Chain A
Amino acid sequence: MSLKVRLIALVAVCLAAVGGGVGYLVASRNHQKDVARHAPPVAQMSLAAVESQPRIVFVNKALGSSYGSVAMAPLSKLDGPRAISSTSCDRVYATAADVLCLSSDPGVVTTYAAHVLDNTFKATQKLPLTGIPSRARLSGDGKFAATTSFTSGDSYAGTSFSTRTVITPVAGKSLGSLENFTLIHNGESIKPVDRNYWGVTFAADDDTFFVTAEWSKHTWLARGSVTQRRIVTLHEDAECPSLSPDGKTIVYKQRENLPAGRWRLVAFDIASGKVTPLAETRSVDDQVEWLDDNTVMYGLNRTGTQTATSDVWAVPADGTGTARLLIPQAWSPAVVR
């Protein structure tokens, strides 16, 4: 091939690559805009109308201008109109008094923040958050806030990645990372350097919490005490625990021998230690929330071309029944009574 032919071929490749790359970007962006524009508008109601009754606070995942905004719907009619606020969160949790919001601000350098908001969505406290938001929880009476984020999720060429979980008294000073708490395993205090914690759930006594503890590639359900700064392991293979309102059952996700990145929801009876798989057979990567004493709810991403959207599903917590769609186009639900 002469140089001329080769140069022409190169120019052709460059044009194809630039055209293909730019074309694909523009097409994707336009497609997203189109979907947002033509998305059937979600029925809305005023915040004031919802705030007066028992409700579920969640992140709105209906494509459109309020995608990612905190929304709420009355417990009495969850698939009806929703009230949408102007506050955006990746992960939200709420009690009657407070809202815990983990957010990220994408850019050339994405920044992350966690805020406690009052019930008018005004920030009252900034919490430390050093990475990609993962889990958020407030204790029932709103005394403590717990956040989990992914830290050092650096390049795959680097070291392995980990999570950081921090408990902070609302309107108080942070207790710091759980990694500084004493870890008790089989009656002994241990200090594995690769220990990680994620997914806190609080009990009603303002001291006890449950959390995932992980080291040497094994996960454990563990019980912690805020005042004693102590965490004791209970049961192996358990992630993202969620304690029932009556304090008797914990629903968590279990790895079993499923492929990486897949989990099964199970219920753990604290008194007997009995583990019951729930009727949801799809893989759930979420910390469930209790809808009532017998039902849990959780977010599930849609598949195929709609992966940006997720729905909140519900399933009985005793292994019976089947999963049902609870709130369409929603994520990160929290019940407020």
Chain B
Amino acid sequence: MYLTLRDRPANGQRVRVRQRVATIVVLLGVVSMLTDISTESVNAVLPKYLIFVVGLSPQAFGFVNGLYNGISALVRLLGGWIADRADHPKWVAFIGYFASALSRVGLLFAHSLTAISFVVTGDRLGKGLRTAPRDSLIAAASPPETLGRAYGVHRSLDSLGAALGPLIAFWILTVVLDGYRQVFMVSLCFAVVGVAVLLLIVPDLRPRRQLLGTLGPPPLPGRVSLRHLANARMARLLMAASLLGLVTVGDAFLYLELQLRENLANNYYALLMVGMNVSYLIVAVPLGRLADRIGRVRVFVGGHVALLACYLFTAGPFAGPALSIGCLVMLGTYYAATDGILAALAGRAVEPAVRTSGIATAQTFQALAGFVSSLVVGAMWNQIGLQSTIRWFCLVLLVCIPVAALVLRGLERQSVPA
């Protein structure tokens, strides 16, 4: 049996009725916004806290980074699988959000490096666990033809939170002298409200049961197995996402290069992030709509052209504040064009019964590719410097974009075997 998952309206058939984005999407956006305020406010002050209050030496700092990489990927896949298996994505997402909120409580009491590493890892694992189930809920709540816009609305609220977080944190530090505990406390409050909105208001959508209801006789396997992820459409998506992920320079490196070039003090790091998130939140909805109209693959691939522009602005022959701002705008555009869109593509590339696993798998592939690329960037940086490294990535990305476009061509019209 074949399900045809055509997301785009047939030619000439423009959707005239402006559908509102489902309430649950907005609610999930609010949950993400509150949680991101919570996370990013802590992230913004954590380096200073570690240096001045915990008293870390430069060597010890890297330790906090190294802890979680492999586990996070595993947790993400596991979360997707459990969410599909139980057909309760909301509750898996809830555990993820709850873990992050709990880690804020831990932060109030953690005074040693080991304890803080533990808390930070808990927060990241929570994030890994919740992302795919949440994206799956968005897909379940949205009609396919407006899925891009739904993700756009969600990501827009999400990045609003990421932009507000550091600003709130720095504001608190100006109000209360050395008010790190106060930042952690306020962060906890935001996290608690986020978790409460999810727990109390977001309905427990059950994608598999929903489908059973509409299609009558179950077209679905009784047992959800990861075997159901293996199809040509998914394979092509994973191939393209990994390829592009491998040639992506991590944000941290880009911000660092901008700081070095513009000779910015290190607190501007947080401000660069705020700038990127502001541009992300502005273009997320328009790009989501565009994806619904002209096709998600095109927007996804096009997003990498924006990334290419960002690299050029960062490491190109010309410098200046205008180009730095341009880089942030392009980076925000890249995220707006790829992050939610990848979830939309992955969610539609597999049967709804394994949708969360599908989304989780695509995100894991992308994250692991990004991890590998960060190792490569680190090694190349040692040899030829950061600017030259970004230039090389620029060149390779230029080659990889058409390849990925070719791999993904016609993806959305391809049918999914059931």
Interface residues of A (CB under 8 A from B): 6-7, 9-10, 13-14, 17-18, 20-21, 24-25, 28-29, 32, 106-112, 129-132, 150-163, 193-194, 196, 198, 214, 217, 219, 239, 255, 259-262, 283, 285, 307-308
Chain B residues within an 8 Å CB radius of A20: 185, 189
Residue contact A261 to B60, C-beta cutoff 8 Å: yes
A9/B173 contact (C-beta < 8 A), A132-B48, A162-B58 known: no
User: Which residues of A are found within 8 Å of B174, using beta-carbon distances?
Assistant: 106-108
- A-B contacts, 17 of them at CB < 8 A, read A25-B179, A28-B181, A108-B271, A110-B267, A130-B263, A131-B265, A153-B269, A154-B47, A155-B43, A156-B120, A157-B43, A158-B269, A159-B256, A161-B47, A162-B58, A255-B57, A261-B57
Asked, given contacts A107-B174, A158-B256, whether A21 binds B113 with beta carbons under 8 Å apart, the answer is no
Provided the pairs A29-B175, A193-B382, A261-B60 are in contact, do residues A155 and B186 lie with their beta carbons within 8 angstroms?
Answer: no
| Contact (A109, B268) CB under 8 Å given A17-B192, A157-B252, A261-B54 | yes
| Contacts A29-B176, A217-B59, A261-B56 given; does A9 touch B265 at CB 8 Å | no
Closest-by-CB residue of A relative to B178 is A308
Does B64 count as interface, using CB distance less than 8 angstroms? Answer: yes
Cβ of A229 to closest chain B Cβ, rounded Å: 20
What is the distance, in angstroms, from B196's C-beta to the closest C-beta of chain A?
4
CA distance A155 to B251 in the complex (A): 11
Q: A17-B190, A161-B47, A260-B56 are in contact. Are A111 and B266 (CB under 8 A)?
A: no
B171 contacts the other chain (CB 8 A): yes
**B182 close to A25 (CB less than 8 A):** yes
Give the A-binding residues of B (Cβ under 8 A): 43-44, 46-48, 50-65, 112-114, 120, 167, 170-179, 181-182, 185-186, 189-190, 192-193, 196-197, 200-201, 250-253, 255-256, 259, 263-271, 273, 378, 381-382
Nearest neighbor of B34 in chain A, beta-carbon distance: A17
With CB as the reference atom, state the residue of chain A lying closest to B63: A260
Residue numbers in B under 8 Å from A156 (CB-CB): 43, 46-47, 50, 61, 64-65, 120
Question: Which 8 residue pairs are nearest across A and B when measured between Cβ atoms?
Answer: A158-B252, A21-B189, A153-B47, A261-B55, A260-B60, A160-B62, A17-B189, A13-B196
A153 CB contact (under 8 Å) in B51, B62, B197, B255: B51
Distance, CA A99 to CA B69, complexed state (A): 47
User: Within 8 Å CB of B177, what residues of A?
Assistant: 32, 308
Nearest Cβ distance between residue B178 and chain A, in whole angstroms? Answer: 6
Per the bound structure, the CA–CA distance linking A270 and B48 in Å amounts to 35
Which of B54, B189, B259 makes the CB contact (< 8 A) with A152? B259
- Whether the Cβ atoms of A108 and B113 lie closer than 8 Å is no
Cα–Cα, bound, A247→B264 (Å): 37
CB distance from A10 to the nearest CB of B (A): 5
A112 to B182 alpha-carbon distance, docked (Å)? 23
In angstroms, Cα B196 to Cα A14, docked, is: 8
Cross-chain contact of A155 among B112, B273, B378 (Cβ < 8 A): B273
Assess the A17–B256 pair: CB atoms within 8 A: no
Question: Contact at A158–B255, with CB atoms within 8 Å?
Answer: yes
Q: A152 near B267 (CB under 8 angstroms)?
A: no
Docked-complex contact B112 and A214, CB < 8 angstroms: no
Given contacts A155-B43, A156-B47, A255-B57, contact A110 B265 (CB under 8 A): yes
In the bound assembly, the distance between CA atoms of A14 and B171 in angstroms comes to 21
B residues less than 8 Å from A214 (CB atoms): 58-59
Which chain A positions have C-beta within 8 A of B200? 6-7, 9-10, 13
A307 touches B178 (CB 8 A): yes
CA distance A129 to B264 in the complex (A): 10
13 additional A-B pairs beyond A17-B192, A29-B176, A150-B51, beta carbons within 8 Å, are A6-B200, A10-B196, A10-B197, A109-B267, A154-B266, A155-B252, A156-B120, A159-B253, A160-B65, A217-B59, A260-B60, A261-B113, A308-B178
A55 to chain B, nearest CB (A): 27
| Interface contact B186-A110, CB-CB below 8 Å | no
